[in-house]
Structure 1
Amino acid sequence: MTPPGAPVYVHANALVLGECGLLLRGASGAGKSALTLQLIADWRARGDFASLVGDDRIALEARGGRLIARPHPAIRGLIEARGLGLLRLPYEPACVIGAVVDLGAGKGETRRLPDAAERTTDLCGVKLPRLFEHGANAGAAARIAAFIHEVAIN
């Protein structure tokens, strides 16, 4: 049992895209690391800020109604790139999570119009907008970018 106020570790990636902290959740092999690298590259290529916070294990903690994400101390600044191994990247020590993407493993059909209840998730008592995506599907990074933009204007 986790003591009150202690961070909760989740199997996820955290990154910052522009002003939005994003949590990518999914099982091993769902495409979290590849999608993280793609999103960071895409945002930087168009001149926007993008940075890794953490890969694989993320500490989450609710503070003042916001969800704070931090990398696991043993692997901060590292991200696994399948076929390449561990890469060292510049990283942010923490971010405020503004949205969550839940990744399914492999290819599959994403629901066209998810139910209202599926569009949000509660983490550590903080309600956040959520998107379901399949990391291996073509266009995943573009749909996530559109989701981030929608979250930012709402």
Structure 2
Amino acid sequence: MTQLHANCVAFDGQGILLRGPSGSGKSDLSLRLVSRGAQLVSDDRTDISLKDGLLLASAPQTLAGLIEIRGMGIVAGMAHCRHAEIRVIVDLVEPGTNDIIERMPDPATETLHGIDVPVWKVNAFETSAPEKIETALAVATGKMRIVS
């Protein structure tokens, strides 16, 4: 098992790993995705494991079902699930940094525990961030496709 500094949310068991430094919007974006029907898997720390050929995300036991909301504190009681299959990784890009989101990037992947996972860059604070992430998940699961 590996532990990452990341959040994970899931739509119907299909996980989206949200990575980024502190303040990049992981929890804020997780909240917005939960309001759109996702379930929280983990906040801030995510355990990654391989089981029966599936790449799974889960929360460390002491953090399960908890989310830190900046300006409020740690909150319990949010819709959450125990684990999800990681289908896409979203690297959060902070506004004003030198990290540029390409207009039409080449497909990127990252290998975790021997499984290739698509990777996309998103600015968490853009209004369209939840829609972009749901689209990335739809592409990763074959419901949509990128036209070259």
Q: How many residues align?
A: 140
Please give the residue correspondences for 1:75-154 in structure 2 after superposition, counting only pairs within 5 Å. 75-88=63-76, 89-107=78-96, 109-116=100-107, 119-153=108-142
In the other structure, the counterpart of 1:4 is: none
Stretches of structure 2 lacking an aligned partner (at least 5 in a row):
144-148
Show CA shifts across 1:71-117 (max 9, x none): 0111111101111111112321111111111112235652111123x
Q: Which runs of 4+ in 1 moved over 4 A?
A: none
Tell me which protein shows more helix as a share of its residues.
1
Q: For 1:107 and 1:137, locate their aligned partners in 2 and report how far apart those are by CA, in whole Å.
A: 13
Q: For 1:63 and 1:18, locate their aligned partners in 2 and report how far apart those are by CA, in whole Å.
A: 18
Q: Under a length normalisation based on structure 2, what TM-score does the superposition of the two structures give?
A: 0.86
Q: Under a length normalisation based on structure 1, what TM-score does the superposition of the two structures give?
A: 0.83
Q: For 2:35 and 2:74, locate their aligned partners in 1 and report how far apart those are by CA, in whole Å.
A: 17
Stretches of structure 1 lacking an aligned partner (at least 5 in a row):
1-6, 45-49
Match of 1:153, SS state, is coil
Q: For 2:51 and 2:13, locate their aligned partners in 1 and report how far apart those are by CA, in whole Å.
A: 18
Q: For 2:128 and 2:96, locate their aligned partners in 1 and report how far apart those are by CA, in whole Å.
A: 12
Structural RMSD (CA): 1.6
1:55 correspondence with 2:55: no
